[in-house]
């Protein structure tokens, strides 16, 4: 007997029929002798509907009240799933976040889980019940309801799995796993049967939408074996087949994983670049620039400072495209005069393309194959940023799909066999 946590996204919970299918799938696992905890999202569209009403009333709504409102979508779907499980012949009980309780800090609309009490869940599991834990929400130390931000149900599920020391956390979603890149861009993209935690973390932070990044962090911190798999298969497919499907996030670097130099290609069009030209090069200049940007609550992604020439340097960084206008206004009105920059140039027609692979740690030449491939396609690289297991480049955004496809081919990702470099 294993203890398994299932998480179902909004699409999987999107209608009465789909909720019944979720119940059938859970019943199959229960019938095979497993203890099951289920974490459902709100029915698709519900969170947007609720927050849309709040926005109609006020554009600057209080976070505490937004969480009161948003938390109801998941609570309703949890009750509906419990009823569907009972109709499928199981004993089931649903709990709102505060009932477990799932404790969080008080950062409304983007709270972080601090602790999960497993007593109530365990007592129900031991009594033979399936337990439905409402995702996306918790309760702070003062008893106020909090939510975890978009995609937070992934984090709820992994955190519950960690608290219960579950054998596996299954994230059921509308894709059947993690791919080498987005199949809509590269039709030869291949599903990975395993991916290392570190690679998944990079993929998530670089724009892959499969898992919320904080859920991956949680999985890593507590070493929760986590599998991304499809909720759109027949709920009655054989259990052993389902147990091997999808993509498993692992924490051991086995031989198979060593063999792959690059596991996937991530990309994001949410980028904008700003450059301060002719900045006098003296100690403290980076802080003088980025300190002001941080004070304005703008997240900076890639940062490049060029070699000083004749005592001045050019300083570039990227921000989310939504923050582009605000960043540019801040730089021209305050930062550039303060640091004595000669001018500000900017570009929001850029995209970031990244190769990710744990094998890059021990393989030289990976980055240079990337640069060679892009050069062969006549794609100019504007910025480069590297970490131990990924290399990202900023390019003109119209070349993004071309770059992804060329790199996918160059690193041989369409087959499971490793690429020689």
Residues that bind a copy of itself (CB under 8 A): 16, 19-20, 50, 53-54, 56-58, 61-62, 64-69, 71-73, 75-76, 78-80, 82-84, 86-87, 92-94, 96, 98-99, 143-145
Radius of gyration of the chain (CA): 24
CA distance 179 to 264: 7
Residue 338 Cβ, how far from a copy of itself at the closest point, in Å? 35
Q: Which residues pair with 195 in a beta bridge?
A: 249
Residue 24 Cβ, how far from a copy of itself at the closest point, in Å? 12
Residue 28 Cβ, how far from a copy of itself at the closest point, in Å? 18
Nearer to a copy of itself, 68 or 290 (CB): 68
Nearer to a copy of itself, 75 or 250 (CB): 75
CA distance 281 to 291: 16
Helices (H), 116-195: 119-126, 152-163
Nearer to a copy of itself, 97 or 278 (CB): 97
Nearer to a copy of itself, 86 or 305 (CB): 86
**With contact defined as beta carbons under 8 Å apart, do 272 and 350 qualify?**
yes
Nearer to a copy of itself, 68 or 344 (CB): 68
Residue 83 Cβ, how far from a copy of itself at the closest point, in Å? 4
87 phi/psi in degrees, rounded to 5:
-65, -25
Which one, of 328, 327, 337, 319, lies nearest residue 280 by Cα?
337
CA distance 42 to 14: 8
Residue 229 Cβ, how far from a copy of itself at the closest point, in Å? 24
Residue 117 Cβ, how far from a copy of itself at the closest point, in Å? 12
Burial readout 226-252 (b: 16 or more C-beta within 10 A, e: otherwise): bbbbbbebebeeeeeebbebbbbbbee
Nearer to a copy of itself, 91 or 205 (CB): 91
């Amino acid at each position: 007997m294993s203890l398994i946590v299932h998480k179902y996204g909004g699409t999987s919970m999107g209608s009465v029929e789909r909720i019944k299918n979720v119940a059938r799938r859970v019943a199959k696992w229960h019938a095979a002798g497993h203890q099951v905890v289920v974490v459902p999202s709100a029915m698709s569209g519900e969170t947007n509907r609720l927050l849309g009403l709040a926005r109609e009333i006020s554009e600057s709504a209080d976070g505490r009240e937004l969480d009161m409102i948003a938390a109801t979508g998941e609570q309703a779907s949890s009750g509906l799933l419990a009823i569907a499980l009972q109709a499928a012949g199981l004993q089931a009980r649903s709990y709102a976040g505060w009932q477990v309780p799932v404790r969080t800090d008080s950062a409304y609309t983007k709270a972080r889980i601090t602790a999960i009490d497993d007593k109530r869940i365990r007592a129900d599991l031991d009594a033979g019940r399936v337990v439905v834990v409402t995702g996306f929400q918790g309760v702070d130390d003062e008893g106020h309801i909090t939510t975890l931000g978009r995609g937070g149900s992934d984090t709820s599920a992994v955190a519950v799995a960690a608290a219960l020391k579950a054998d596996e956390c299954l994230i059921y979603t509308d894709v059947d796993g993690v791919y080498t890149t987005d199949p809509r861009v590269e039709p030869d993209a291949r599903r990975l049967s395993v991916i290392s935690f570190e690679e998944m973390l990079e993929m998530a932070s670089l724009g892959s939408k499969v898992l919320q990044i904080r859920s991956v962090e949680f999985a890593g911190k507590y070493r929760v074996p986590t599998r991304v798999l499809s909720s759109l298969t027949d709920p009655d497919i054989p259990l052993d087949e389902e147990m091997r499907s999808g993509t498993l996030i692992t924490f051991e670097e086995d031989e198979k994983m060593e063999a792959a130099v690059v596991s996937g290609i991530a990309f994001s069009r949410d980028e904008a670049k700003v450059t301060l030209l002719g900045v006098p090069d003296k100690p403290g200049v980076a802080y003088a620039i980025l300190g002001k940007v941080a004070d304005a609550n703008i997240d900076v992604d890639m940062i490049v400072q060029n070699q000083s020439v004749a005592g001045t340097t050019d300083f570039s960084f990227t921000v989310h495209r939504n923050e582009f206008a605000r960043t540019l206004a801040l730089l021209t009105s305050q930062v550039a005069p303060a640091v004595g920059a000669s001018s500000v140039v900017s570009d929001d027609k850029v995209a970031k393309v990244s190769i990710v692979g744990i094998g890059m740690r021990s393989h030289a030449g990976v980055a240079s194959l990337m640069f060679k491939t892009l050069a062969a396609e006549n794609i100019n690289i504007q910025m480069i940023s590297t970490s131990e297991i990924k290399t990202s480049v900023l390019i003109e955004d119209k070349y993004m799909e071309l770059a992804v496809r060329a790199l996918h081919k160059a690193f041989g990702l369409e087959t499971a066999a490793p690429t020689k470099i």
